[in-house]
Amino acid sequence: MCGIVAYIGPKDATPFLLEGLARLEYRGYDSAGVAVTGRTGGIKSRKVKGRVADLAADIPARFKGTTGIGHTRWATHGVPSDANAHPHLDNAERIAVVHNGIIENADELRVRLTAEGAVFRSETDTEVLAHLIAAHATEGVELEEAVRAALGKVVGTYGIAVLDAEQPDRIVVARNGSPIVLGIGEKEMFAASDVSALVRYTRQVVHLEDGELATVRADGFRTFTEDARTTHRQPSTVDWEIDSYDTGGYEHFLLKEIHEQPGSVERTLSGRLDERFATAHLGGLNLDARELREIRRVKILGCGSAYYAGEMGAQLIEELARIPAHSEPASEFRYRNPVIEADTLYIAVSQSGETYDTLAAVQEVKRKGGRVLGVVNTVGSAIARECDGGIYLHAGPEISVASTKAFTSTVVAFALIALHFGRIHDLSPADGRRIVSALKALPDQIREVLAQSDAIAELAAEYAESEGMMFIGRVRGYPVAREGAQKLKEISYVHAEAYPASELKHGPLALISPELPTVALVPDDELLDKNLTTLGEIKARSGRVLAVAHRRPDAKLADHCVLVPKSEPELDPLLLNIPLQLLAYHAAVALKRDVDKPRNLAKSVTVE
Ligand code: AGP
């Protein structure tokens, strides 16, 4: 939810800190701050409510130091304000801390530290860390020892970076439930909560494990555990392209990521289609055919768009493999003492691989002896590591808060899983071939939809003025409607409701009026007539209709239509979703919204 950066080396840290924070801003953007120190001693710190650009404007030219930490925040404890922004310092201004995560026993620690003389200046849980580390940083104690001792008293999750004015030759970082990655440079070192802050400077990185700390100096690093045992960590190379982290000439990351989908789908499919046996190769599942045959049910867990992608995945698995499958919000599942069955396969879905609710759901399943696979975009992320096996999306980094290319790749991954399971069960070779060729055709078909971006922009400008929008779809179309409504409300703030088309007359038809237009998914499948009847019911109530269809409905049934290329019926939802991404994007632009960083949201929700 928040972003951390740190630098130590011969140069001034501030330019790297500010650039790194700008790159991490998608993770949280209600306040930002930096602290630096160096040979001249003392800590200089600046923090503001607002964006990284506001912070940069507030930094004076003399703000220099060769060791520094920075943070961009998404508020959990305390409102967004200058005082609550990180870094937090102890009263002597010797220690500065930036923190992602939540200190659960902060209240108890605050009372104790206050009794010992600490004066708190913010409402945050993080500030207790600054005072606690300072309390342990007594004469002759190394910073890493003070940090280790302080963390021993803390209950909660954290990724932290700590600066000490009296030991400016090092930064100490620690990870427990919130990622920290070290970047190895030439006589300089970096650290961040996400590689996107580092890739301009180095591609050699070390991901800390939970429960691990590191002392980072300009010439190297040492990692160790909470009980002071040295660990040996080998650097790995970041393989995502550097230009994935830039808008690359597009006005927004979101538009770029929507347009990247032909390529990201190709990468999700790459090397996984087996034309000879009309199936999919998914080595990472770690399940052989015999084990797969024993699975009686599939339960898919994810949050937000990942949950909706899971709904599409459940339909694919039921249709192609005839295994009962169901998607549930991981955020609900984890709180309801779920029954874990030995013959159920659990599949966790997450773009970031960090969503706390999904991670907690995976841990709950595993604790009860269940088997969990991951459908995850971020390699080596917490959820990917927690799962027993799975499939990486290879969609590339997704920076815009609203998920688009990762959503599409997730559904493609489910199509591969469903094909693989299906061919182990009763899906015929002919049906397998039908799905393989439809999957191969997807990238070009997505290009065809993207070519309609300008026409969709005109429709979006018109519909964006509405007081709200209804999204409807039937069976395969319903998760598409849900994701379409989610995308619109998330980035344009236009109220949007999704309903199964079949349910309209059981209540929501009362809402239909010229002020509340309907986006209707109308695939050319076995339910076409039913869908056309629903359009008639809407038009009879003076409702406006924008149809997303394979064939243009009669003008009496739809005011506007976006045509989408036909795939196989099971894969149609994938393509029907793409115009809805463009509709949401262009509506948000027409309404002058902050498209990549919508209000109140953050890219990864790493808190409960
Ligand atoms: C998607 O547009 C949303 N920003 C959000 O619903 C997101 O899909 C959800 O928070 C899950 O994120 P994850 O895929 O990283 O776990």
Interacting residues of 543 by C-beta distance below 8 A, sequence separation 6+: 470, 512, 513, 514, 516, 517, 518
| Mean pLDDT confidence for 376-384 | 90
What pLDDT score was predicted for residue 248? 86
2 is catalytic: yes
Residues 438-455 have pLDDT tens digits of: 999 999 999 999 999 999
Residues 502-554 have pLDDT tens digits of: 999 999 999 999 999 999 999 999 999 999 999 999 999 999 999 999 999 99
403 CA: nearest ligand 1 atom: 2
Residues with CB under 6 A from ligand 1: 303-306, 350-352, 355, 358, 401-403, 490, 604-605
What pLDDT score was predicted for residue 559? 97
Look at residue 311 and tell me whether its pLDDT is greater than 90: yes
- How high does pLDDT run on average in the chain? 95
Cα Rg, the chain, nearest whole Å: 26
**Cα 305 to middle of ligand 1, angstroms:** 5
| Mean pLDDT confidence for 295-313 | 98
Q: What is the spatial order of strands in the sheet that 496-500 belongs to?
A: 496-500, 469-473, 518-522, 545-549, 560-563
Look at residue 398 and tell me whether its pLDDT is greater than 90: yes
Q: Are strands 181-184 and 204-207 parallel, antiparallel or unpaired?
A: antiparallel
Q: Which amino acid is at 204?
A: Q
378 CA: nearest ligand 1 atom: 15
What is the band of 80 on the pLDDT scale with cuts at 50, 70, 90? confident
Pocket test for ligand 1, best of 354, 392, 403, 489 (most atoms within 8 A of CB): 403
404 CA: nearest ligand 1 atom: 2
Residues 381, 383, 386, CA angle at the centre, nearest 5°?
Answer: 110
Q: Are strands 212-217 and 171-176 parallel, antiparallel or unpaired?
A: antiparallel
What is the band of 606 on the pLDDT scale with cuts at 50, 70, 90? confident
Ligand 1 atom 6: residue of nearest CA? 304
Alpha carbons 300 and 391: distance in angstroms, whole number: 14
Single out the catalytic residue among 44, 405, 487, 603: 603
| Mean pLDDT confidence for 448-463 | 97
DSSP 8-state symbol, 256: H
Alpha carbons 495 and 489: distance in angstroms, whole number: 6
Give percent above pLDDT 90 in the chain: 88
Q: Which amino acid is at 500?
A: P
604 CA: nearest ligand 1 atom: 15
**Cα 598 to middle of ligand 1, angstroms:** 13
What pLDDT score was predicted for residue 30? 87
H or E, element range at 510 = none
Ligand 1 atom 9: residue of nearest CA? 304
Give percent above pLDDT 70 in the chain: 100
Look at residue 339 and tell me whether its pLDDT is greater than 80: yes
The owner of tokens 């799905």 is: 435
What is the band of 589 on the pLDDT scale with cuts at 50, 70, 90? very high
The residue among 515, 582, 521 whose CA lies nearest residue 548 is 521
What pLDDT score was predicted for residue 367? 96
On whether the CB atoms of residues 8 and 66 are closer than 8 A, the answer is yes
| Mean pLDDT confidence for 279-293 | 93
Look at residue 246 and tell me whether its pLDDT is greater than 90: no
Least confident piece of the model among 74-78, 388-392, 535-539: 74-78
What is the band of 344 on the pLDDT scale with cuts at 50, 70, 90? very high
What pLDDT score was predicted for residue 76? 75
**Cα 385 to middle of ligand 1, angstroms:** 19
Look at residue 297 and tell me whether its pLDDT is greater than 80: yes
Alpha carbons 163 and 45: distance in angstroms, whole number: 11
Look at residue 495 and tell me whether its pLDDT is greater than 80: yes
**Cα 605 to middle of ligand 1, angstroms:** 8
What pLDDT score was predicted for residue 299? 98
Ligand 1 atom 8: residue of nearest CA? 305
Look at residue 40 and tell me whether its pLDDT is greater than 80: no
| Mean pLDDT confidence for 141-154 | 97
What pLDDT score was predicted for residue 121? 95
- Identify the burial level of 112 via C-beta atoms within 10 angstroms of its C-beta, where 0-12 means exposed, 13-18 middle and 19 or more buried: middle
Interacting residues of 331 by C-beta distance below 8 A, sequence separation 6+: 303, 357, 358, 361
Name the more confident of 334 and 347.
Answer: 347
Burial 132-160 (b: 16+ CB within 10 A, else e): bbbbbbeeeeebbbbbbebbeebebbbbb
Alpha carbons 316 and 345: distance in angstroms, whole number: 15
| Mean pLDDT confidence for 348-355 | 95
On whether the CB atoms of residues 464 and 494 are closer than 8 A, the answer is yes
**Cα 450 to middle of ligand 1, angstroms:** 23
What is the band of 94 on the pLDDT scale with cuts at 50, 70, 90? very high
**Cα 521 to middle of ligand 1, angstroms:** 23
What is the band of 144 on the pLDDT scale with cuts at 50, 70, 90? very high
Q: What are phi and psi of 491, to 5 degrees?
A: -110, -20
Single out the catalytic residue among 2, 303, 387, 561: 2
Alpha carbons 415 and 535: distance in angstroms, whole number: 29
On whether the CB atoms of residues 550 and 524 are closer than 8 A, the answer is yes
603 is catalytic: yes
Alpha carbons 508 and 543: distance in angstroms, whole number: 12
- Give the C-alpha distances (Å, rounded to integers) separating 150 from 5, 130, 227, 325: 21, 9, 12, 46
Ligand 1 atom 2: residue of nearest CA? 402
Ligand 1 atom 11: residue of nearest CA? 303
